[in-house]
């Protein structure tokens, strides 16, 4: 058996807590999968006072300065201080695993140039789409991506379809640990736009600036509209979509009217889905839990096991190749395709 793989955890919120629990409760199975034990050396949290944790709580700077660390797992979210800590760790030769979609969408290519960066959990949580795009489909040509990439809004739209008010639907998503700390990231579609930017970079191998992706959130979707869509044989879904034909990138995120019989219409609650059209592999559809502590922790753990096994960080390596390129011009897909806009 190889020596333990020593890991520092930055953040002990919903996802960090689920990961820490899993590392303790599932230690034997994780050791078998990783070929060695994974040892949690310490955890950094903003306010350690009175908190209980399965490893010593330390200030981030102190934890990162510890010798012999193999990897850090960043599940704090937000651009700073996550960016600073990740750069420090990569420059120090450590592997980095992050669930931070905002940071990867904005700065992933530069960060990935510094060292092995893994971010499976940043898009669609438990759906293994990031390494699949970079590695399994790396040599294919992806023409289009379409998906439901935000569990909070998908769950809210479903609840509103069953009569809940917008406010109650949002409160329920927050209670279940689905929503971002600032839920405007969900309802105003910054979160799915960041995820779409990551998928589009991996699929089309072009640098994408997430702020160039047109976004319409669900803030103005009224329960009456959800009901009217239902009477018309449709459901309203927040669809993130992109095409990369002929070197032109078209992408947007907006509520669309999806016919009730379409696979995307049947993606319920906090589930996500990603449909890809690949020239050689054909049409692929991935569906699974897209938000929630255990689903996100499952993807973080997958990356951690890959790191402990010395598997390549394929998605990070791909992003690193885009660091010198200027961002692609991104035009909106517009209100007609892939489905008619809901408003």
Phi, psi of 151 (to 5 degrees): -70, -35
Q: Are 203 and 193 contacting, i.e. CB atoms less than 8 angstroms apart?
A: no
Q: Kindly tell me which of 63 and 169 has the beta carbon lying closer to ligand HSE.
A: 169
3-class secondary-structure state, position 91: helix
Q: Which of 70, 74, 107, 186 binds ligand HSE (CB under 6 A)?
A: 186
Kind plus residue range of the DSSP H or E element containing 47 = none
Per DSSP bridges, beta strands 234-243 and 249-259 are: antiparallel
Q: Which of 95, 98, 102, 125 binds ligand HSE (CB under 6 A)?
A: 125
Instruction: Verify binding: residue 112, ligand HSE, rule CB under 6 A.
Output: no
Closest approach of ligand HSE to the CB of residue 56, in Å? 28
Instruction: Verify binding: residue 74, ligand HSE, rule CB under 6 A.
Output: no
User: DSSP character for 147?
Assistant: E
Query: Known catalytic residue: 62?
Result: no
Q: Which of 100, 102, 152, 298 binds ligand HSE (CB under 6 A)?
A: 152
Q: Are 290 and 149 contacting, i.e. CB atoms less than 8 angstroms apart?
A: yes
User: By C-alpha distance, which of 166, 115, 167, 178 is closest to 307?
Assistant: 115
Closest approach of ligand HSE to the CB of residue 247, in Å? 30
Q: Which of 41, 180, 188, 303 binds ligand HSE (CB under 6 A)?
A: 180
Q: Kindly tell me which of 176 and 337 has the beta carbon lying closer to ligand HSE.
A: 176
Stretch in the footprint of ligand HSE (CB under 6 A) among 25-33, 176-184, 240-248, 318-326 = 176-184
Closest approach of ligand HSE to the CB of residue 184, in Å? 11
Instruction: Verify binding: residue 191, ligand HSE, rule CB under 6 A.
Output: yes
Range 5-24 burial, b when 16+ CB lie within 10 A, else e:
bbbbbbbbebbbbbbbebbe
Q: Is 46 exposed, middle or buried (0-12, 13-18, 19+ CB in 10 A)?
A: exposed
Instruction: Verify binding: residue 151, ligand HSE, rule CB under 6 A.
Output: yes
- Which candidate in 101, 195, 205, 237 is catalytic? 195
Residue showing tokens 């990740």: 86
Stretch in the footprint of ligand HSE (CB under 6 A) among 26-34, 45-53, 150-158, 233-241 = 150-158
Residue 141, both tokens:
């040509």
Residues 6+ apart with CB under 8 A from 16: 9, 10, 43, 73, 75, 76
Instruction: Verify binding: residue 287, ligand HSE, rule CB under 6 A.
Output: no
Residue with CB nearest ligand HSE?
152
Instruction: Verify binding: residue 188, ligand HSE, rule CB under 6 A.
Output: no
Catalytic residues: 195
Q: Which residues bind ligand HSE (CB under 6 A)?
A: 125, 150-152, 178-180, 186, 191, 290-291
């Amino acid at each position: 058996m190889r020596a333990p793989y020593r890991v520092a955890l930055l953040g002990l919120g919903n996802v960090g807590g689920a990961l820490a629990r899993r590392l303790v409760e599932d230690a034997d199975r994780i050791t078998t999968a990783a070929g060695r034990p994974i040892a949690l050396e310490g955890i950094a949290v903003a306010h350690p006072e009175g908190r209980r944790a399965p490893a010593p709580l330390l200030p981030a700077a102190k934890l990162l300065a510890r010798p012999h660390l193999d990897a850090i797992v960043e599940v704090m979210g937000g651009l700073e201080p996550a960016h600073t800590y990740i750069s420090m760790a990569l420059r120090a030769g450590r592997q980095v695993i992050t669930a931070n979609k905002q940071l990867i969408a904005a700065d992933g290519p530069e960060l990935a140039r510094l060292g092995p960066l893994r971010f499976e959990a940043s898009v669609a949580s438990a759906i293994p789409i990031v390494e699949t795009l970079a590695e399994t489909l790396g040599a294919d040509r992806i023409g289009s991506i379409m998906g439901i990439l935000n569990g909070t809004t998908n769950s809210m739209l479903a609840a509103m379809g069953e009569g809940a008010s917008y406010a109650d639907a949002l409160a329920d998503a927050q209670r279940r640990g689905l929503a971002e700390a600032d839920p405007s990231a969900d309802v105003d579609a910054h979160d799915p736009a960041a995820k779409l930017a990551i998928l589009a970079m991996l699929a089309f191998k072009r640098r994408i600036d997430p702020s160039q992706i047109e976004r319409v959130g669900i803030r103005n979707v009224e329960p009456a509209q959800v009901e009217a869509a239902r009477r018309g044989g449709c459901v309203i879904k927040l669809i993130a979509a992109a095409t990369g034909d002929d070197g032109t990138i078209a992408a947007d995120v907006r509520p669309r009217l999806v016919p009730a019989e379409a696979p995307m219409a049947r993606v319920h609650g906090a589930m996500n889905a990603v449909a890809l059209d690949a020239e050689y592999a054909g049409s692929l559809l991935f569906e699974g839990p897209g938000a929630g502590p255990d689903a996100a922790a499952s993807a973080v753990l997958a990356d951690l096991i890959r790191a402990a096994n010395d598997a390549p960080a394929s998605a990070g390596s791909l992003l690193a190749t885009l660091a010198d390129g200027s961002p692609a011009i991104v035009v909106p897909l517009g209100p007609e395709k892939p489905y008619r806009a809901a408003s």
